[in-house]
Structure 1
Amino acid sequence: MPAITTNDGVRLHVEQTGSGEPILFIHEFAGDHRSWEPQVRHFSGSYRCVTYAARGYPPSDVPADPAAYSQERAVADAVAVLDALDITETHVVGLSMGGFAALHLVLRHPDRVRGAVVAGAGYGAHPDRQGAFRAECEATAAAFEAEGATEVAKRYALGPARVQFQNKNPRGWAEFAAQLAEHSSAGSALTMRGVQSARPSLYALQAQLAAIETPVLVLVGDEDEGCLEADLMLKRTIPTAGLQILPRTGHTANLEEPELFNAAVDRFLATVERGGWRRRDPRSLSTSTTGMK
């Protein structure tokens, strides 16, 4: 099935590999369905791996209407992919923009998610940083419109949480940067404004996050500075969350450290499957250091 159609008529490119329990992978802003290749290669021997290109990312459609892009629509698109593939319940793994989508999928459709890996999700989440984040999103969107993806990719791929990938794996980073340069300039600008900039703060969702019962693994690189604080908040707020921090790692964690990333996800999925991923023991929340008072 190379494409599915959403309820608002947008065609999404979908690929699936392997068989078994499904895993839905949702890509980041600077990636696309191809970004999950190290994970598909690893997991497709035991799982049914589903990847797709979000709207605005060819070969998926690039709607021209700005109203076609939002956090809500990103979640609806994930559900549309599941429905088209007759998947009633799935594990979901999302990075950055995809991590936000995975988390919102858990919030809105908990019956569809067996377990969620929320990786590198946190940019612009803190209320004190939202204004600056949105200003940067607008500048980035304007650059995609004025200069095009080929030029913007040269700078975007060298962000402060991307250089770790370049230093560790120059060939892998070059492939990532080349794929980013192939993105739709219009689609990137529309996604940056409608999804990235306009999404709600995670801190404004704390009451909803505290009610989550779905197993969640929050995963982040220790040099992904824009995510660390928010991801610690997610760990402390979601009663079923575990926090995995990858050392000396930036934002593109699944490509930068595929073995560590895959091992963490593999261990999480196996624990969920055997019913071992439980809510945090409330006794661990005591303010006492020793438990003596």
Structure 2
Amino acid sequence: MSATVTFSVDSAQGPKDVSVVYRRGGSGDPVLLLHGIGHHHQAWDPVFGILAAERDVIAVDLPGFGASPALPDGFAYDLANFVPALNALCKALDIERPHVVGNSLGGLLALEMGREKLVRSVTALSPAGFWTRAEQRYAFGTLLAMHRGAKLLPLPAIERLSRSAVGRAALTSAIYARPGRRSPEAVVAETLALREATGFHATLAAGRGLRWIDDVDSVPVTIGWGTRDRLLLRRQGVRAKRAIPGARLIALRGCGHVPMNDDPALVSRVVLDASS
């Protein structure tokens, strides 16, 4: 079951309320799960139960994505606003310096939270920001095409496509190496989440020109990269290791850009090891 929490975040116009939808379960050390652009917290469903058997797991819909409302007017969808909002979320939920795990955009946010010393450890799965300009144009173009397709397809067509492995591949092969493993219901839900993401275009706009070049040496960092990632190519993981020399770089064999669905056991093991 999901819940909603509302908290205050400072802005140039004074304090503003931000609301976030989240799912929480389990007990133990807290682990905060952050999804990628256009996705929602259900991206973590394949690993949620495994992690919750040993950790206090909190999977969130980032502001402007999933069921979470957009950021207040005047807030840019950039690191300078996302990270303070996530820190305020942790305080509202009485979470003190969680382990943070992020995928894609969520991985970038996790690294920034680590750089700001807000977390105990960082696990970044195919994090954004380690691209060349050409690689960024390709990734953004692919995301825009997926978003446009989700907008154009009527719901009956999405439902019809999701019923077959071929149809699920047509909808999600850019992010999954094994799209046939995703359930029809999950594919419909995430296609609608992409279509209705109020923060999608603003987040892409904020990310143009962004490139991560800084070290994160204040907390342990694990970087996992799918060997079959078609969105952010695996060579970007080598750049991430160069930027963050102390990080542990793990090849997620057979996994695509969103590896939690492709190999839940592998991803769970990486997360549990990193948060131990």
Q: How does 1:1-293 map to 2 (within 5 A)?
A: 2-6=3-7, 7=9, 8-62=16-70, 65=73, 67-107=75-115, 109-110=116-117, 112-122=118-128, 125-141=131-147, 157-162=171-176, 164-167=177-180, 169=181, 172-183=182-193, 185-187=195-197, 190-199=198-207, 204-206=211-213, 208-209=214-215, 211-225=216-230, 226-270=232-276
Following the alignment from structure 2 to structure 1, what is the Cα–Cα distance between the partners of residues 187 and 114?
30
SS of the residue corresponding to residue 182 of structure 1 reads helix
Please tell me whether the aligned partners of residues 15 and 50 of structure 1 are also in contact (alpha carbons under 8 angstroms): yes
Counterpart CA distance in 2 for 1:130 and 1:66 is 26
**Could you tell me how far apart the structure 1 residues matched to 2:158 and 2:84 are?**
29
Secondary structure at 1:9 match in 2: strand
Please give the secondary structure, in 1, of the residue aligned with 2:199: helix
User: Counterparts of 2:18 and 2:153 in 1: how far apart (Å)?
Assistant: 26
In the other structure, the counterpart of 1:287 is: none
- Distance in 1 separating the partners of 2:219 and 2:235: 22
Residue 164 of structure 2 is matched in structure 1 by none
* C-alpha displacement of 1:233: 0.9
**Alignment check: 8 A CA contact 1:56 1:186 kept:** no
1:247–1:138: structure 2 CA closer, same or farther, 3 Å change rule? closer
Per the TM alignment, residue 27 of structure 1 is displaced from its structure 2 partner at its CA by 1.3
CA offset at residue 191 of structure 1? Answer: 2.7
Rounded to whole Å, the distance in 2 between the matches of 1:148 and 1:64 is 29
Q: Which amino acid aligns with 2:125?
A: A
Which secondary structure does the structure 1 equivalent of 2:120 belong to? strand
How has the CA–CA distance of structure 1 residues 95 and 131 changed in structure 2, closer, same or farther, with 3 Å as cutoff? closer
Q: Is the 8 A contact 2:39 2:194 kept in 1?
A: no
How many angstroms does 1:18 deviate by?
A: 1.9
Distance in 2 separating the partners of 1:38 and 1:183:
17
Segment drifting more, 37-46 vs 226-235: 37-46
1 or 2, which has the higher helix percentage?
Answer: 1
> Which of structures 1 and 2 has the bigger CA Rg?
1
Q: Distance in 2 between matches of 1:67 and 1:140?
A: 25
The size of the alignment, in residue pairs, is: 259
Q: Which residue of 2 aligns with 1:279?
A: none
Post-superposition shift, 1:231? 1.3
Unaligned runs of 5+ in 1: 271-293
**2:69, 2:105 → 1: CA distance?**
18
1:105 Cα shift? 1.5
Return closer, same or farther for 1:64/1:88 CA change in 2, 3 Å cut-off: closer
Instruction: Tell me the distance in 1 between the aligned counterparts of 2:65 and 2:266.
Output: 28
- Which amino acid in the other structure matches residue 3 of structure 1? T
Contact 1:212 1:238 (C-alpha < 8 Å) held by counterparts: yes
For residues 88 and 61 of structure 1, the distance between their equivalents in structure 2, rounded to whole angstroms, comes to 24
The SS at the match of 1:245 is strand
| Aligned-partner Cα distance in 2 for 1:181–1:246 | 24
The one-letter code of the counterpart of 1:212 is: D
Q: CA RMSD in A?
A: 3.0
TM-score (norm 1): 0.76
CA contact (8 A) 2:130 2:237 kept: no
Equivalent residues of 2:28, 2:55 under 8 A apart: yes
